[in-house]
Structure 1
Amino acid sequence: MQLTDEQAAIQDLVHEFALEEIQPVASEADATEQFPEAIWDALGELDLLGMTVPEEYGGFDTDPVTYSIVNEELAYGTLAVATAVSVHCLATSCIASFGSEEQKERWLPEMAGGRPVGAFALSETGAGSNPAEMATTAEREGDRYVINGDKQWITNGERSDVVVLFAKTGPEEITQFVIPKETPGLSVGPPETKLGLRASDTTPLSFDDVEIPVENRLTPEGEGLRAALSILTGGRIAIASQSVGLAQSALDAAKSYVSEREQFGGPIADIQSVRHTIARMHAKTEAGRRLTRHAARTRRDPSADTPTAASTAKYVASENAMDVTNDALQLHGGYGYTTEFDVERLYRDARITTIYEGTSQIQQTVIARGVLDEG
């Protein structure tokens, strides 16, 4: 768990930013369902929107552990910001990993600064946990592709300027494309009204005879699903990291509250059952953190089973975040059920961590496959 001096310095920087800049605006952003764009621009100035962009294209090109740490600390501020950043970084990862030199030079330098904002369009109404069932098609006509279909639950759907899209180029072939948002025929649907993560921009995207040149294809035909799964392994570590940050935020809020709240002649932190709850919250947060850091370290170990490690971390950290935020709300009593305290927002936000980037059930499937050595 030991961090390098550079990693520790970045952690301190982002934690301070989360405390001083993100947390003060988090509740209002949630209540108004408006993403805090000033925070985004500030993150760009800190080079935190180019974490998966190589240095030669103006990025930060972080190591996997540093990327995990940044996601954890951003989620400590608010999950809505951390989610937007991680999805933007998924898009830049796809371009950096699979794009041509021309595509990298066109998109990455500006995306490293945060504008244009990236979106990642994989899920559909009938193809969430099983992307192979997607219905969106990309038919080649000469030197162009014509795209038709609908994508669902797209983070940065309204805010984005460039979309990394996955579509079928044949009955069993999924291919990856990069599409400018202003392309005719690409439209944004109404924003989703969500239980939590309310400041995050989540919309459907529709493609109605969207024409793009062949040069906008990121992967050879039929290799898009494999590319998506490799990118999503890193994405699952990011969500695990965010789950840890969310849990830590709830734990810190609970520690502060029980130390100040007095009942029966003293702070409720003196009550044994409260102390046991705090101990349980700490253990679950730390367990998620250790699994997540381990998974991040496997990313650069060719002998490691990174998919299993990533799914284990994501499964445990997200489920633990649900438990920890629930305990934090309970310790706040009636106050925890009101918007006067942040724990009700943390509780609502935690629920999505067990769903996106693969549900807990999907993570269990991946873990079992790895444990049983089924490839």
Structure 2
Amino acid sequence: MADRSFLAWPFFEERHRALAVELEAWCEATIHDAEAADTDEACRSLVQELGSAGFLKLCVGDGDSRPDVRSLAICREILARHHGLADFAFAMQGLGSGAISLFGTIEQKREWLPRVASGKAIAAFAMTEPECGSDAANMATSAMREGNEWVLVGEKTYISNGGIADYYLTFARTGEGEGSRGLSAFIVPAESVAVVQRIDAIAAHPLARLKYDNVRIPADAIVGEPGEGFRVGMETLNLFRVTVGAAALGFARRALDEALAFSSNRRLGTGKLSDNAVTQAKLADMATAIDASSLLIYRAAWQQDVGGTDHRRAAAMAKLNATESAQQIIDAAVQMHGGMGVTKGAKVEELYREIRALRIYEGASEVQRQIIARDLLKEHRA
């Protein structure tokens, strides 16, 4: 049983504690702790089940206000601790609809957010390109205005939910200015986009490379104003960045649970592996790192929800620390399991594959360090 004492911290309200209890019970009853044979079908099913249970409503807010980050973080931590694909299914509904929640028109919100919240539409966020990862300002995909339409040309890659999404929140260059000043965001129906490659990652998630071959969409499919795409994308990513750390925290908590159970039962000489001083030191380090990550995550989530300062830096710190620490914690759990730790089917082996991408997507660790350092220097100079 993972530690839940953090729910008593003053960052939370009673509704957050009730949510944790409800989702924990749902996971116990619904999620089967095994990797799916058909990832696409499993992901579709999880989206539908999360929607039917009402949890996806948390991803889209109420249409008038932004999603509650503490609720998102609690959900991602719990879901990730139970199953990586369940966390993925939940998170991508939020990321793929976040721009609409934050910047969409009333009509866009009415058309898409209820469908995302119910699990009847699968959302995707399409920013990364074959020659453009972290440097989003230099993307090449273009969108030209022709009468009452936009025409999109280009490619995107490593797009989560690629191949199963109902729409792609797509970023393209519209030319209002150089670099980040010339980007815009669009809602592009999936049937207009060609899936040219399915990508197999070390953790099985729906990923794809997409091609926009003179894709025509209505003029009102733009999200926000022309030239605001970079802001739309960055604010969406910043909203969900803390929750990436929360998912990493869920993986880390599960790794600690697995390490505690294994070391308490594994014989070593005349005793148990848990009697060994080296093992105890590892367990202590794992628990300490988990608490540190949890404090950073829920501080940042609280700041985003209730106001204050330092949102961007706090979010970057939370994601950076949680993902890097989780990698070390899971590695320690694998090491503790010995040969069993690298055996297909072992939970710690699955966690080892799941955690690696979190240090890359939605802002790699190197990018988070830049955000933190630049904000510190700006503050110092002021």
Q: Indicate the residue corresponding to 1:4 in structure 2.
A: 13
Shift of 1:21: 2.8
Choose the corresponding residue for 2:197, options 187, 190, 212: 190
The alignment-based identity, stated in percent, is 32
- Judging changes above 3 Å, is the alpha-carbon distance between structure 1 residues 62 and 167 closer, same or farther for their aligned structure 2 residues? closer
Shift of 1:54: 3.6
Structure 1: 4+ residue segments shifted above 6 A: none
Q: Is the 8 A contact 1:35 1:201 kept in 2?
A: no
Q: Map residues 115-194 of structure 1 onto 2, 5 A cutoff.
A: 115-170=120-175, 172=178, 173-183=182-192, 186-194=193-201
Q: Is 1:347 the counterpart of 2:356 in the alignment?
A: no
Shift of 1:68: 0.8
Q: For residues 39 and 62 of structure 2, what CA distance do their matches in structure 1 show? A: 34
Q: Is 1:26 the counterpart of 2:31 in the alignment?
A: no
Deviations 1:81-105 (CA, angstroms, capped at 9, x unpaired):
2123212112222112111111111
Q: Indicate the residue corresponding to 1:79 in structure 2.
A: 84
> Any gaps of 5 or more consecutive residues in structure 2?
1-8
Shift of 1:25: 4.2
Q: For residues 248 and 363 of structure 2, what CA distance do their matches in structure 1 show? A: 14
Q: Is the 8 A contact 1:134 1:167 kept in 2?
A: yes
Shift of 1:187: 0.6
Task: Specify the SS of the correspondent of 1:40.
Answer: helix
Q: Is 1:45 the counterpart of 2:85 in the alignment?
A: no
Shift of 1:77: 1.6
Q: CA RMSD for the aligned pairs?
A: 1.8
Q: For residues 278 and 321 of structure 2, what CA distance do their matches in structure 1 show? A: 24
The one-letter code of the counterpart of 2:19 is I
Shift of 1:5: 2.2
Q: Is the 8 A contact 2:249 2:290 kept in 1?
A: yes
Task: Specify the SS of the correspondent of 1:26.
Answer: coil
Shift of 1:35: 5.0
Q: For residues 181 and 34 of structure 1, what CA distance do their matches in structure 2 show? A: 15
Q: For residues 347 and 174 of structure 1, what CA distance do their matches in structure 2 show? A: 36
Q: Is the 8 A contact 2:59 2:93 kept in 1?
A: no
Shift of 1:301: 4.3
Q: For residues 235 and 67 of structure 2, what CA distance do their matches in structure 1 show? A: 17
Choose the corresponding residue for 1:248, options 253, 259, 281: 253
Task: Specify the SS of the correspondent of 1:233.
Answer: helix
The one-letter code of the counterpart of 2:16 is Q
Q: Indicate the residue corresponding to 1:307 in structure 2.
A: 312
Q: For residues 360 and 270 of structure 1, what CA distance do their matches in structure 2 show? A: 36
Q: Is the 8 A contact 2:184 2:229 kept in 1?
A: yes
The one-letter code of the counterpart of 2:14 is D
Shift of 1:17: 3.0
Q: For residues 33 and 276 of structure 2, what CA distance do their matches in structure 1 show? A: 33
Q: Indicate the residue corresponding to 2:229 in structure 1.
A: 224
Q: Is 1:321 the counterpart of 2:326 in the alignment?
A: yes
Task: Specify the SS of the correspondent of 1:373.
Answer: helix
Q: Map residues 264-283 of structure 1 onto 2, 5 A cutoff.
A: 264-283=269-288
The one-letter code of the counterpart of 1:161 is D
The one-letter code of the counterpart of 2:200 is T
Task: Specify the SS of the correspondent of 2:15.
Answer: helix
Q: Indicate the residue corresponding to 1:366 in structure 2.
A: 371
Deviations 1:106-145 (CA, angstroms, capped at 9, x unpaired):
1111111012100000111111111001000000111111
Task: Specify the SS of the correspondent of 1:103.
Answer: helix
Q: For residues 343 and 240 of structure 2, what CA distance do their matches in structure 1 show? A: 32
Choose the corresponding residue for 1:91, options 92, 96, 107: 96
Task: Specify the SS of the correspondent of 1:55.
Answer: coil
Q: For residues 153 and 372 of structure 1, what CA distance do their matches in structure 2 show? A: 33
Shift of 1:56: 5.6
Shift of 1:284: 1.0
> Any gaps of 5 or more consecutive residues in structure 1?
none
Q: For residues 251 and 329 of structure 2, what CA distance do their matches in structure 1 show? A: 9
Q: Is the 8 A contact 2:33 2:83 kept in 1?
A: no
TM-score by length of 1: 0.93
Q: Is the 8 A contact 1:50 1:89 kept in 2?
A: no
Q: For residues 232 and 34 of structure 1, what CA distance do their matches in structure 2 show? A: 24
TM-score by length of 2: 0.91
- Judging changes above 3 Å, is the alpha-carbon distance between structure 1 residues 69 and 203 closer, same or farther for their aligned structure 2 residues? same
Task: Specify the SS of the correspondent of 1:303.
Answer: coil
Q: Is the 8 A contact 1:84 1:155 kept in 2?
A: no
Shift of 1:302: 3.9
After superposing the two structures, state which structure 1 stretch, 61-70 or 266-275, moved more: 61-70
Q: Indicate the residue corresponding to 1:15 in structure 2.
A: 24
- Judging changes above 3 Å, is the alpha-carbon distance between structure 1 residues 34 and 147 closer, same or farther for their aligned structure 2 residues? closer
Q: Is 1:67 the counterpart of 2:84 in the alignment?
A: no
After superposing the two structures, state which structure 1 stretch, 5-14 or 33-42, moved more: 33-42
Shift of 1:195: 1.8
Q: For residues 71 and 225 of structure 1, what CA distance do their matches in structure 2 show? A: 26
Shift of 1:330: 0.7
Shift of 1:62: 4.9
Q: For residues 366 and 299 of structure 2, what CA distance do their matches in structure 1 show? A: 21
Q: Indicate the residue corresponding to 1:238 in structure 2.
A: 243
